[in-house]
Amino acid sequence: MPATTAGRSTDRRNITMSQPLPTPRVDRATMADVFGEDDLDTVAEEAAEQISHAPTRVFLTTVGLPDQEDTQGWFHRVEDLTEEVEDKGWPGLGEKYPEVADDFHFDEWVTLGEIPYDSINVDASTGVVYATSDDGGEPYLLNTSLEVFAYLICVTEAERPFYEGPEEDFEEPGYEEQVEARLERLYGMPYEQVGPTAADRLRATIERTDPVALARPDSIWHQVVRHITGGLH
């Protein structure tokens, strides 16, 4: 019998989890499609001169990041990205963790926001994304690039109707088709081919695009996957 998700049939015989996922490419249109154009904030060009890593500079000045705090989403962006770039650097962390200071380049960190309750920061010289927990734990590598991080928050939000949204929404004409089309654009294939549930698909996506994100058992991405597993319809 086909498995069902929120009243919708998913034939597991069609799922090919071994298929490779495409390399994520996140542009302004992708972010606007998932989060809405009005919710994206970018860094001013003049301030962005302090970002020496070119792909990160281009991403923050032309694509931008959303703030989901008001919509109960996962990523809560800082109020002003430009101000954070102008004030880049976490010298206090270098003093607190001198044994890893050379590896983490704390003086290049720009705070982007948080995924409750870990602070999300990007190294302006390398584009690598790091997290620090509010319980004072040691900073850790979260994602290998800002674009990968952005791709994963896009996937997490696009999957939201399957684990948190009201099931009644799927009764609205065209809603299910819109959700499925958005996921297919992100995955590069029908979402059923990625995994049977939203949690399975997110985990598979992380493992294939940026496995370092799950290397630590206390990574915030593990928490996100656990929450989604608990919230499945």
Q: Is 186 helix (H, G, I), strand (E, B) or coil?
A: helix
Are the C-beta atoms of residues 163 and 177 closer than 8 Å to each other? no
Are the C-beta atoms of residues 110 and 97 closer than 8 Å to each other? no
Are the C-beta atoms of residues 177 and 166 closer than 8 Å to each other? no
Are the C-beta atoms of residues 41 and 18 closer than 8 Å to each other? no
Give me the pLDDT at residue 165, please: 77
Task: State pLDDT tens for residues 152-199.
Answer: 999 999 999 999 878 888 889 999 999 999 999 999 999 999 999 999
Cα distances from 208 to residues 19, 66, 99, 187, 205, in angstroms, run 10, 24, 31, 11, 5
- 21 pLDDT band, cuts 50/70/90, is low
Bridge partners (DSSP) of residue 12 are none
Task: State pLDDT tens for residues 186-214.
Answer: 999 999 999 999 999 999 999 999 999 99
Longest dimension (CA), the chain: 59
Please return the burial class of 230, using the count of CB atoms within 10 Å of its CB with bins 0-12, 13-18 and 19+.
exposed
The beta-strand segments (E) located in 67-155 are: 76-77, 109-115, 118-123, 129-133, 140-143
